[in-house]
Structure 1
Amino acid sequence: MRDMAQNTQGDQMPALPRLGGRRSSYRERVADALRAALIAGELRPGEVYSAPSLAARFGVSATPVREAMLDLAKEGLVDTVPNKGFRVTAVSDRQLDEYTHVRALIEIPTVVDLARTADRVSLEALRPAAREIVTAAVAGDLIAYVEADTRFHLGLLALAGNAHLVEVVADLRKRSRLYGLTALVEAGRLLASAEEHLELLDALLERDEKAVHAIMTRHLGHVRSLWAATD
């Protein structure tokens, strides 16, 4: 078994982290690692990767890799290619616009309401994640950036007490993954978006609903502009 992933032209991809632990955890952990590879641009849109070659990278059998890829297929991140493997799906401008629109409909009013309902202790508990986002942006660590960003936003929405709402937004975030952001990191363009998380947190703590609405609107628009710049 060759220790590489292939596209249809036989290109190589960077090595992925090897996984240990119990077999029962492989599927979820492999899926997380594959998402990280998508974010970092190691798995590129339009290319086909085989389960056996990815399994060699993880040091596991092909079965949990196939299962993880099927999970990603349900999220719209990959498509199955009979007898070859899985093709990483590209996300169109129209899809990104639609994802952003739905997120705005859900997240903006929900977060504005938190300016009235969320307690200070719960809000302050999100500050470490907000700081991690900024640190990751400065360091150019895309995976750490997205992981901290996800913890912050889903943690914030969870304060509304609606688990299904959090689930829907989590799915939208996966579908609108931030792949191919290397050029943006090199240009230093992630920092402004990262700092908005601390700004939003301060506005929530000040119970300033107008400011929260303005920051959330700007932030989602800013995120969409980052996606557009990767096209």
Structure 2
Amino acid sequence: MTGGASGAVRPAAPRLPVLGGRRSSYRERVAEALRAALIAGELRPGQVHSAPALAARFGVSATPVREALLDLAKEGLVDAVPNKGFRVTDVSERQLDEYTHVRALIEIPTVAALATGADPVELEALRPAAREIVAAAAAGDLIAYVEADTRFHLGLLALAGNAHLVEVVRDLRGRARLYGLTALSASGRLPASAEEHLELLDALIARDERAVREVMTRHLGHVRGMWASAES
């Protein structure tokens, strides 16, 4: 499915998720699965993929896949390549630094405020997602890691009651990618980063705002390290 690489090893097909517990179109589900594959680095910068080849992997028609790829092109995640398909866009070191900076400006104070403002029951409801992150890290399942990580972080931010903020962070996560996850997993460091989600949740439930800020700052630093490790 990679343009010009007939003998290339294919990554595992991304799963088709159910979005937010509601019924969704193939287009939405395929777009979400492709985002997860892009963020995890299963689809690498510079690779060219055709809609028919991706459709074969998903077991759906090419039309919803092509429409999903067009959606991703609008987000800057892929570029259309005439008569070939879509090329996964690259991300510069400067862009990664900028994305991390913006995320820190948004997420650290927002999550810290939840230490005193969020309902402990709603916080505890995020624990299954945090445990899924840890389990996926232990299993080396990067797609499952990204899917659970996205649910956890966006679900946490949603408790602040600002839907626009959640969408801004969702967009930043997609644009930045986490394609260093592969290197982090191979080095055995991914489980430690995964455990930070449970540590963060415990600090929030304990109403320890200082600890929340510390964990969030450390965690975002590790995320930036994931990106950097992909280029090292």
TM-score by length of 2: 0.88
> Which amino acid is 1:143 matched to?
I
Match of 1:29 in 2: 29
157-166 vs 175-184, which deviates more? 175-184
Pairs within 5 Å for 1:98-177: 98-177=98-177
Of all paired residues, the percent bearing the same amino acid is: 80
Cα distance in 2 for residues equivalent to 1:52 and 1:123: 42
Of the candidates 6, 18, 22, which is equivalent to residue 2 of structure 2? 6
Determine the C-alpha separation between the residues in 1 that align with 2:119 and 2:47: 46
Q: Is the 8 A contact 1:39 1:180 kept in 2?
A: no
- Whole-angstrom distance in 2 between the partners of 1:12 and 1:186: 20
CA contact (8 A) 1:204 1:212 kept: yes
The one-letter amino acid of 1:38's match is L
8 Å Cα contact 1:8-1:47 kept in structure 2 = no
Q: Which residue of structure 2 lines up, in the alignment, with residue 181 of structure 1?
A: 181
Q: Report the CA distance between 1:178 and its aligned residue.
A: 1.4
Question: Matched residues in 1 for 2:3 and 2:29: separation?
Answer: 23
Structure number with greater Rg is 1
1:86 match:
86
Q: Distance in 2 between matches of 1:10 and 1:59?
A: 20
What runs of 5+ residues in structure 1 fail to find an aligned partner? none
> Deviation digits for residues 152-211 of structure 1, max 9, x if unmatched?
111111110011111111111111121253232121111121111111111111111111
SS at match of 1:230: helix
Does 1:66 find its partner at 2:66?
Answer: yes
CA distance in 2, matches of 1:185, 1:18: 20
Partner of 1:224: 224
2: distance between equivalents of 1:217 and 1:17?
30
Query: Could you tell me which amino acid in structure 2 is paired with residue 92 of structure 1?
Result: S
Aligned length: 223
Q: Is the 8 A contact 2:115 2:207 kept in 1?
A: yes
Counting only pairs closer than 5 Å after superposition, residues 33-72 of structure 1 correspond to structure 2 as 33-39=33-39, 41-72=41-72
Give, in whole Å, the separation in 1 of the partners of 2:94 and 2:202: 33
C-alpha displacement at 1:76, in angstroms? 1.6
Q: CA 1:222–1:18 in structure 2 vs 1: closer, same or farther (change >3 Å)?
A: closer
DSSP 3-state at the match of 1:161:
coil
Q: Which runs of 5 or more structure 2 residues have no equivalent in the other structure?
A: 17-23
Q: Which amino acid aligns with 1:210?
A: R
RMSD, matched Cα: 2.0
